[in-house]
Amino acid sequence: MRVTAYVVHNRPFQENKILLDLFSLELGLLRAVYRLPKKGGRIVPSPFVRYEVELKGRTELKSISAIESCQPPMRFDGLQLYTGLYVHELLSRLVTIAVPVPDLFVLYEWLLKSIQLGAPIAPLLRRFESGLFQELGMSINMAYTGNGDAVLPSQLYLFDFKLGLRPFLGGRPKQRPMMFVDGALAAKYMEGEWSNKDVLMMSKELHRNWLDYLLSGKAIEARRLLPKQSYKGDRLYGVPKFSI
């Protein structure tokens, strides 16, 4: 079996072996054992390099019989590197093993190339996270309320995990929502206007909470490497409120 893949995680496995998480075009996320060469430099396959990989085995855990780079490595440092590590942690923890997600693979390569070209990081991450949610079947719907009504630009809504958007009719909510968001901003989010500062501010808070929900509150370790900016904008009843 031959796949095109990137290394998104590695860890020691047995003597002279390491365990690799590979994100592949053909089969999505794969886990495979790589035996380190006995002669020459004991080079571990690197992240941010596109490889052609020969795999063996019928179980979920594959063996790598050959691995060869097919492009020069992308050189990231600082925030670019931390962004890549964050994305790799999301892929390794959230994507189902051996389920093809070719659209997500294309999005991942777009992300790497955009980072390499020096594009602003925040819009790239929000776009990637949105695509990841869609591939997981957990996309965020802000075009309709939880009852199926179209979102109105002039209406203020509450948003929470289970009920989605609900019109805010005034008064303190009985259950604390994740956020308040007006319909006009919700529409811009659904249109993917990632360069809009209001969309970026709202989607950062939204995606952070959505990821915590998907991971059952388990910490994303790579977040510690990224800049920490707590929300300092408007609040209603102590809950973040986003509007245009």
Q: Is the predicted pLDDT of residue 118 greater than 90, yes or no?
A: yes
pLDDT tens digits for range 16-56: 899 999 999 999 999 999 998 776 555 789 999 999 999 99
* Per-range mean pLDDT, top range of 67-81, 99-113, 213-227: 99-113
Q: Is the predicted pLDDT of residue 110 greater than 70, yes or no?
A: yes
Q: Which helix (H) or strand (E) holds 164?
A: strand 164-167
Rounded to an integer, what distance in angstroms lies between the CA atom of residue 67 and that of residue 51? 6
pLDDT tens digits for range 150-184: 999 999 999 998 899 999 999 999 999 999 999 99
Q: What size, in residues, is the chain?
A: 244
121-135 vs 78-94: helix crossing angle, rounded to 10: 10
Q: Own/partner pairs for 132-141, CB < 8 Å, 24+ apart?
A: 132/90, 132/91, 132/94, 132/104, 132/107, 133/207, 133/210, 135/95, 135/101, 135/103, 135/104, 136/94, 136/95, 136/214, 138/210, 138/214, 140/189, 140/206, 140/210, 141/165, 141/190
Q: Is the predicted pLDDT of residue 105 greater than 60, yes or no?
A: yes
Of 183, 203, 186, give the one whose Cα is nearest residue 194: 203
Rounded to an integer, what distance in angstroms lies between the CA atom of residue 99 and that of residue 103? 12
The whole model's pTM is what? 0.93
Rounded to an integer, what distance in angstroms lies between the CA atom of residue 182 and that of residue 198? 11
Q: Give residues with Cβ within 8 angstroms of 128, minimum separation 6.
A: 87, 107, 108, 111
